[in-house]
A and B are shown apart, each in its own frame.
Chain A
Amino acid sequence: MKFVLFPLDPVHDVALKMLNRELLKRGHQTILLPPDTKMEEVVELCQKENPDFIMVSRTVGYGAAELLARFIDMLDAAGLRKKCKVVVGGKAITKELAAELGYDAGFGDRTNWEEVIAFVEGREVQESKSRIVKTKRDITHGYSYRVHDSAFKDLLEKITDQIIDWARDRTSPGIERAKMREKMLQGEDLLEDYLKLCDDTVVSYFKKNTLPRKVRLITEEEKKKFDRLVRETRFDEKILRHSLDRPLVFVQYGTGCPFMDAMHIKVSEAWGADGVLHFDPSWGARCEGLLEGLLAHEEDGSIITFENLKLIKSALNDSTLWCVRAHRGLNTPETVLLAAYAKADLTKINMVYGSLNGGTDPERLTVDGVYAIKLAARYNLPYDIPTNEELGGVPAHKAFAGMLVVAYLGVKLNAKPILKPLFCYSPDVMINDYMKDNYIDYNAAKVIALRRIIDAPIWPGEPIGFMTHTEDRVQSAMTTALHAALASSLGLDAITIASTDEAYARGAITVSARIDTLRAIAEAFRFFGQAKIEPTKQAEEFAERIVEGVYETLKKVAEREDFVASMYEGLFGTREEGANPGRAGRGTVRKC
């Protein structure tokens, strides 16, 4: 077929040149005119050449429509209108505008070549074909969990054997509640017994209808409105990663209100997020027992109740991965159980971080953690292990030693752990001046080190760039995007991101701030694509030091022959380094 390509524009003709390339590739004959050709000349040329198609491009501003209409009228007056098809393309061109202008077809900004080619070659344009269909991914797929070095393996074996052995004849109110909760979820009425193991806040809620401070019940009417809103909210799916296969992008939510959370989730999904993390309030972690019902509260993090979780689940897209955090508090096993029953995809457990930075007693959280990992294994919930103790200043190698113990314990108990090193300018880095002239080397070193030790999925947390962020929204989106690019460059499996106002949000996190970050990441992924960020040689040196440090730490813990005591005694980080053994639940572990 024969085409005349006419840029009806004083300057721009890039799109037409690209179209010309595609048409030539398919064996069509084309005449590509330069920009700023007079319409009269084009009409004359078309009279001579008799093309099958005249393809006109034009950026639409006010006045352009009149120009396009005049051109079509000129073709009509010249008797060409029925002899050739006339197609208009350009930013802001829509099918409706093309019809209004009297063109045979119009293609706008997000058109792909296939659509235009299909149209001119007379094939049915498959609009639905270009729609993205997302599916859920298993982050742990393809990993062997093999420990590469037998020296490391021996140490991890020894430590985890000791933990399992130690935990065998111990229990806690948290574990007992989880056992009861499981029966309650299956229909048994055990509330009286359950409340015997709960703090006053929970007991008075159930017995006297007293709500904890700043908490309120969500009404039935509000719930109905919400259900309708979720039903009516539909977005076209987007993928953030351009040509990349990984990392999956997770967004953490926890506004205090499950409705607001759901809307944040819908917006994040619409802008391409692959997964979301349920962020619980920290006071919930220090209270024995969980509340029930649809509850909202005024502070950071959303209350863990089965009803709240089910409501969030109802709002999620089928493809969205959902992680419910259970890693640090007195309700760890019960939270994993609720996550499983609410059909979460992932959970989060790390008793070292939870004990040394989360405020829970090491002995208590170890007993609860072992049971929680067993539940995660039983319900097939992979769990990620954040090393956020680094945020207190604990050196990476000590935080990693704890993480590797929790990971290896999981492997032994048939669960699927995910390693979660911190990706930011952490206190450890600042104190030791590790990243002097770039923010890449030490973060890259962490990944190199972990990969030397074990074959496991890596999902840097949490969120990436945290502590590198300032109160400036552009800076915050930019650092997140760069850390995301580093993660993709290193072939990592997933990342968690914050919103641009998270570093300074003095109220609820805004939806526009979430979009900022997601857009910034999409642009970073597009910018780098399959290209890579290259760390300096320093990264290798750091990695070696981290591997050595992890080994030294594990060795000391193995020699101590008591995991719990190792935490109290500072083997996973001293008080000076910022690791403070928590007190919540102290003295509640008993032999059984």
Chain B
Amino acid sequence: MLSIGVLGTAKNTGKTTTVNALLKCLAGKSLAITSIGFDGEDLDHITGLPKPKVVVEEGTVVATSEQAAKHSTAKLQLLRKLNITTAFGPICLYKVRQSGTVVLVGPNNSEDLLMLKDVLKSEQTEIFLVDGAINRVVPFQHVEFVILALGASRSTSIDVLLTEARVIVKALRLPLSEDDRNVIEGLVSQDKMKSLRNERISVESPMHLLLAEDLADLERSLDELDIAVLRRPELICVTINPYYPARRMEGFVLDHMDLTELSRTIEQELNVPCLDVMKEEERLCRILEEKIRGLK
């Protein structure tokens, strides 16, 4: 089974839009989907702006809570209840019997996501899609591939977005650890990293590093230190969302900015495909297809 996570750097960076595009690209395969948070609501919980909904086709396996399942327009058949709890009750596995929208409330931590992965293996799932939540990254230490969703909602400064993308890409490209390294388990603070300047160290995953408060600081450490990781997902591509909620007198309104320059720089300097899924869905599908073919 291949697992693909869509992680964002903030709210409204285009995770759900990317997930919907992926679902279309992968139609015909044996799919399963969940979210590490909550997705598919009508309106954003903070800005009150409308959100895209997750649309699933017949045959897809959906992991969501019972309460959330009731708010889906897709016809869902209960497969079984899992021992994973959330603020919206325990997670269940459903099979889509008739396509429609679905509200996803999934495992909200790494261990539970790992448990769900195990369960899905026995369901003969080919591809498992995991929708991200806000800027959460840590549960993605357990997926094989990630797509990074960047957007103007994180910042309207191209510099900030580019720096963030560069650091995330660097972290995701850290080498896998060999046996003789000094392994640091759990959270790695900047102070601790600095104190290990002359050692060959290994951390659990790039996600453990990406929690640093100051990404510029983290970038310096990544450049200067000898760090490897025990596990990490491979980055497939970056998606960009030029739309963002802007605060106005009357509340939040949808605004947008030009991100073509950012997109070009990411492709050229970081050597990662970067696309706007609203305009380049076919390209996303091609990239994905090549990736899956390459694995076989």
Is B a genuine binding partner of A?
Answer: yes
Shortest distance between the CB of B212 and any CB in chain A (Å): 10
Count of interface residues, chain B, beta-carbon cutoff 8 Å:
38
Chain B residue at smallest Cβ distance from A98: B87
Say which residue of B10, B11, B36 sits within 8 Å of A102 (CB atoms): B36
Say which residue of A70, A95, A100, A104 sits within 8 Å of B211 (CB atoms): A70
B133: Cβ under 8 A from any A Cβ: yes
Provide the B26-51 mask, 1 if CB < 8 A to any CB of A, else 0. Answer: 00000000001111010001110000
A69 with B135: CB separation less than 8 A: yes
B136: Cβ under 8 A from any A Cβ: yes
Chain A residues near B211: list those with CB within 8 A. 70, 73-74, 77
B105 with A69: CB separation less than 8 A: no
CA distance A72 to B186 in the complex (A): 13
Chain B residues near A100: list those with CB within 8 A. 37-39, 45, 133-134
B111: Cβ under 8 A from any A Cβ: yes
Contact (A82, B109) CB under 8 Å given A95-B87, A98-B87:
yes
CA distance A82 to B83 in the complex (A): 13
Say which residue of B38, B139, B247 sits within 8 Å of A99 (CB atoms): B38
A43 with B109: CB separation less than 8 A: no
CB neighbors of B among A53-99 (8 A): 60, 62, 65-66, 69-70, 72-74, 76-79, 81-82, 92, 94-99
B247 with A62: CB separation less than 8 A: yes
A106: Cβ under 8 A from any B Cβ: yes
B189: Cβ under 8 A from any A Cβ: yes
Contact (A65, B11) CB under 8 Å given A76-B138, A82-B109, A99-B37:
yes
A101: Cβ under 8 A from any B Cβ: yes
B232: Cβ under 8 A from any A Cβ: no
B110 with A101: CB separation less than 8 A: no
A105: Cβ under 8 A from any B Cβ: yes
B37 with A77: CB separation less than 8 A: no
A77 with B46: CB separation less than 8 A: no
CA distance A95 to B65 in the complex (A): 14
CA distance A92 to B47 in the complex (A): 11
Shortest distance between the CB of A60 and any CB in chain B (Å): 7
B134 with A66: CB separation less than 8 A: yes
B137: Cβ under 8 A from any A Cβ: yes
B139 with A97: CB separation less than 8 A: no
A40: Cβ under 8 A from any B Cβ: yes
A466: Cβ under 8 A from any B Cβ: no
Chain A residues near B109: list those with CB within 8 A. 72, 76, 81-82, 102
Of listed A39, A43, A78, residue having the most chain B CB within 10 A:
A78
Chain B residue at smallest Cβ distance from A94: B45
Chain B residues near A40: list those with CB within 8 A. 187, 189
CA distance A60 to B47 in the complex (A): 11
A74 with B46: CB separation less than 8 A: no
Contact (A65, B110) CB under 8 Å given A96-B45, A106-B87:
no
Provide the A305-329 mask, 1 if CB < 8 A to any CB of B, else 0. Answer: 0000000000000000000000000
B276: Cβ under 8 A from any A Cβ: no
Chain A residue at smallest Cβ distance from B192: A40
Chain B residue at smallest Cβ distance from A88: B87
Chain B residues near A525: list those with CB within 8 A. none
B108: Cβ under 8 A from any A Cβ: yes
CA distance A102 to B137 in the complex (A): 12
CB neighbors of B among A102-128 (8 A): 102-106
A97 with B88: CB separation less than 8 A: no
Contact (A102, B45) CB under 8 Å given A70-B211, A77-B187, A79-B186:
no
Chain B residues near A70: list those with CB within 8 A. 135, 211
Of listed A47, A78, A99, A101, residue having the most chain B CB within 10 A:
A99
Provide the B185-219 mask, 1 if CB < 8 A to any CB of A, else 0. Answer: 11101000000000000001001100101000000
CA distance A65 to B136 in the complex (A): 10
Chain A residues near B213: list those with CB within 8 A. 39
CA distance A78 to B111 in the complex (A): 12
Of listed A70, A74, A103, residue having the most chain B CB within 10 A:
A70
CA distance A101 to B187 in the complex (A): 19
B137 with A97: CB separation less than 8 A: no
CA distance A102 to B93 in the complex (A): 19
Provide the A19-42 mask, 1 if CB < 8 A to any CB of B, else 0. Answer: 000000000000000000001100
B137 with A73: CB separation less than 8 A: yes
Q: List 23 A-B contacts (CB under 8 A).
A: A40-B187, A40-B189, A47-B186, A62-B247, A65-B11, A66-B10, A66-B135, A72-B109, A74-B187, A76-B139, A81-B109, A82-B111, A96-B41, A100-B38, A100-B39, A100-B45, A100-B133, A101-B134, A102-B36, A102-B37, A102-B108, A104-B87, A106-B87
Query: 3 shortest A-B CB distances, which residue pairs?
Result: A102-B108, A100-B38, A81-B109
* A interface residue numbers (CB < 8 A to B): 39-40, 43, 47, 60, 62, 65-66, 69-70, 72-74, 76-79, 81-82, 92, 94-106
